[in-house]
Amino acid sequence: MKKVNVAVLGATGAVGSEMVKILEERNFPVGELRLLASARSKGKLMKFHGEDVEVQEATHDSFSGMDIVLGAAQNALAQEMRPYINHAGAVFVDNSSAFRYDDHVPLVVPEINPDDVKNHRGIIANPNCSTIITMVAVNPLNALSPIETMIASTYQAASGAGAGGPIELMGEIEALQHDEAYEPKVFPYQLAYNVIPYIGSPSDDLYTTEEMKMQKEGRKIMHLPEMRCTCTCVRVPVVRSHSISVTVRTREKISVAEAREIISKAPGCRLFDELSDKIFPMPLLTSDQDLVYVGRIREDLTDDRGLTLFCCGDQIRKGAATNAVQIAELLL
């Protein structure tokens, strides 16, 4: 296979470093790997296939000769660098939320809407982590009958807030064990031994921006412009992997047996659902791998056309870095 030159923008962050790891794991045909970050990370060495690669400062001139740029930077930097990436002739696969709602930017989960990649104009957006995990779990049902509504509650790990999240969680636990004070900086309140029903910032109708992503992005990914979704996002004291409880209402009734059968065969899913044997998805089971575990599948007792399930997935991998690399693979 022809080798392509790849840059990772934000290479030293949690998602960026995972992108480098996954490019190696999946044997992506990298010619030159260019690692880009802020000035304070310039000169840092990162390993790729056993070799040291030096991190460079990201500037407007950093993208010459690149074919694909994987973005793991914040919105402002992604917006700043986009025209320079495209001017250099590279395709920008961006993990920020800056371009997800742009009608001219495909929003892609490869297991669901891979053909949308063909419509790119130099940029493809990577969806929100919880959205990816949830859509991989419920899209098999959508293939049987279109989803009309979704009610979701997310249980999002500390690492979803970046590398500082787990550090703060562990620091709080240690401080509490020694009866010491610990002022939270990453989260608005103490996360240890607590849950925080607030992620993102205030948005429409008393929802948060994080909660609205499930509807807005889900509609675009599954090509369901009329789908309605109510979502509550909760930060939980878990280090890694997000969990989602979701109830879907489909146009036609889907039985539990039909749901189990199609999910068991769906790409990106692992059916993990034997309640009598206490087999169900959990964050500890799903960390550091790329499948979305799906279980607790049962009828919704309030709606004859409803099904309820529970799913878990690694939000740093499938929810971010792996999905981006899979999009890059589609570009090949």
Domains and CATH numbers, the chain: 4-128+320-331 (3.40.50.720), 131-315 (3.30.360.10)
Residues 6+ positions from 223 with CB-CB distance below 8 Å: 113
- Global pTM? 0.96
Instruction: State percent of the chain over pLDDT 90.
Output: 98
Does the CA dihedral 86-91-94-98 come out positive or negative? positive
What are the structure tokens assigned to 196, written together?
Answer: 């925080």
Q: Are strands 306-313 and 242-250 parallel, antiparallel or unpaired?
A: antiparallel
Measure CA of the first residue to CA of the last residue in the chain; give whole Å.
9
Q: Does residue 91 carry a pLDDT above 80?
A: yes
Check: CB of residue 273 under 8 Å from CB of residue 280: yes
Across-strand partners of 13?
A: none
Question: Would you state the pLDDT for residue 168?
Answer: 98
Residues 6+ positions from 280 with CB-CB distance below 8 Å: 272, 273, 274, 295, 296, 310
Determine the average pLDDT of the residues in 209-217: 97
Q: Does residue 204 carry a pLDDT above 80?
A: no
Q: Does residue 1 carry a pLDDT above 80?
A: no
Dihedral of CA atoms 190, 194, 311, 163 in degrees, nearest 10, equals 20
Question: Would you state the pLDDT for residue 88?
Answer: 98
**Run of H or E including 134:** helix 129-144
Determine the average pLDDT of the residues in 42-49: 97
User: At residue 223, what is the residue type?
Assistant: H
Give the whole-angstrom CA distance, residue 120 versus residue 124: 6
Question: Would you state the pLDDT for residue 49?
Answer: 96
SS3 185: coil
Determine the average pLDDT of the residues in 196-214: 95
Q: Catalytic residue positions?
A: 129, 242
SS3 73: coil
Question: Would you state the pLDDT for residue 122?
Answer: 97
What are the structure tokens assigned to 162, written together?
Answer: 């970046």
**Run of H or E including 41:** none
